[in-house]
């Protein structure tokens, strides 16, 4: 594993080759780190890339063309070593390709490229998924960046709030206790409001999982200081928000093309909610940005 850096006069960004995982976004003027530093006491990841599934499968299995395959929660890309395709002062490009090993659990030939592009205090993360074979390819992809929260030592987690770019009326899609699978139930969270205060109690039932969010931007803010994180995620049909447990000093903001499976028996992969279908030799692209201040 290696770490590569993007840097300008304002910020420095670090990305690990293992998982092509964003591991640092530092505001240089105040030496302020925005990305969670993977303290294993709470959660040992920074910002994993979720591919070729988002969430969990029933029994961690799925069916495809008469065969049963197994995949762990969020797939395997986050635990693979990526190749650095190119590196400049303001862009890093990583690639993961299908292999004999991946074909045993995911029978599709693919190239996954992740582009990190830095401009001022904004980082664009672009996913490019290419079907390298004939026939349909099925996949999901999603982001899972964790941000330090609190950001400053004189504040607490519950001093912070999320600000949506539009007033939202949202229900969370509940996950079955202990399995991470959708249980078919919902629970209201916002009623024509743009502000969601952070409360650890929100995560007693696992992540907040939303569908059909109107907003294309969400910001993590605090009234006690001017620092913020803003994510823009136009085109992503699902949004997850998560922290590990009370006292965990981070918050994950997760735009997804895909979602956890539903409780029950393993299904055909094509029947899993949120799967993207990609034709022969076609390429899919999606991007989100992280801006800090």
Distance from C-alpha of 81 to C-alpha of 114, rounded to nearest angstrom: 13
- Per-residue model confidence as pLDDT tens digits over 25-81: 999 999 999 999 999 999 999 999 999 999 999 999 999 999 999 999 999 999 999
Task: Give the angle subtended at the CA of 202 by the CAs of 163 and 188, to the nearest 5°.
Answer: 75
101 three-state secondary structure:
helix
Q: What is the pLDDT of residue 1?
A: 86
CATH architecture of 3-292: Distorted Sandwich (2.70)
Q: Where do the structural domains in the chain lie, given as residue ranges? A: 3-292
Q: What is the pLDDT of residues 201-227, one digit of tens each?
A: 999 999 999 999 999 999 999 999 999
CA distance 24 to 11: 10
At residue 160, the pLDDT reads: 98
The pTM of the full predicted model, rounded to 2 decimals, is: 0.96
Enclosing H/E stretch for 102: helix 100-105
Helices (H), 215-257: none
- Are 156 and 272 contacting, i.e. CB atoms less than 8 angstroms apart? no
Helix (H) or strand (E) holding 62: strand 61-64
pLDDT confidence of residue 177: 83
The per-residue pLDDT string of the chain (293 residues; one tens digit each, 9 = 90 and over) reads 899 999 999 999 999 999 999 999 999 999 999 999 999 999 999 999 999 999 999 999 999 999 999 999 999 999 999 999 999 999 999 999 999 999 999 999 999 999 999 999 999 999 999 999 999 999 999 999 999 999 999 999 999 999 999 999 999 999 998 899 999 999 999 999 999 999 999 999 999 999 999 999 999 999 999 999 999 999 999 999 999 999 999 999 999 999 999 999 999 999 999 999 999 999 999 999 999 99
pLDDT at residue 178 in the model: 82
């Amino acid at each position: 594993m290696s770490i590569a850096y993007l840097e300008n006069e304002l910020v420095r960004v670090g990305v690990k080759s293992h998982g092509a995982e964003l591991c640092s976004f530092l505001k240089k003027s105040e030496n302020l780190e925005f990305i969670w530093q993977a303290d294993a006491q709470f959660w040992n990841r920074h910002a994993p890339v979720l591919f070729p599934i988002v969430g969990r499968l029933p029994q961690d299995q799925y069916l495809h063309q008469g065969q049963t395959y197994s995949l762990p929660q969020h797939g395997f890309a986050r635990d693979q070593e990526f190749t650095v395709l190119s590196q400049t002062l303001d862009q890093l490009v990583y690639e993961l390709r299908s292999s004999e090993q991946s074909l045993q659990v995911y029978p599709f030939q693919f190239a996954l490229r992740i582009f990190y592009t830095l401009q001022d205090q904004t980082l664009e993360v672009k996913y490019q998924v290419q079907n390298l074979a004939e026939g349909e390819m099925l996949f999901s992809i999603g982001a899972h960046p964790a941000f330090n929260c609190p950001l400053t030592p004189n504040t607490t987690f519950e001093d912070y709030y999320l600000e949506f770019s539009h007033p939202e009326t949202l229900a969370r899609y509940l996950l079955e206790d202990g399995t991470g699978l959708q249980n078919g139930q919902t629970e209201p969270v916002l009623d024509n409001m743009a502000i969601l205060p952070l409360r650890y109690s929100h995560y007693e039932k696992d992540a907040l999982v939303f569908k059909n969010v109107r907003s294309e931007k969400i910001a993590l803010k605090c009234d006690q200081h001017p620092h913020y994180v803003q994510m823009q995620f136009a085109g992503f049909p699902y949004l997850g928000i998560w922290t590990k447990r009370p006292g965990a000093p981070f918050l994950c903001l997760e735009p997804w093309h895909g979602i956890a499976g539903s409780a029950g028996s393993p299904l055909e992969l094509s029947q899993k909610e949120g799967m993207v279908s990609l034709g022969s030799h076609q390429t899919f692209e999606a991007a989100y940005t992280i801006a800090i201040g």
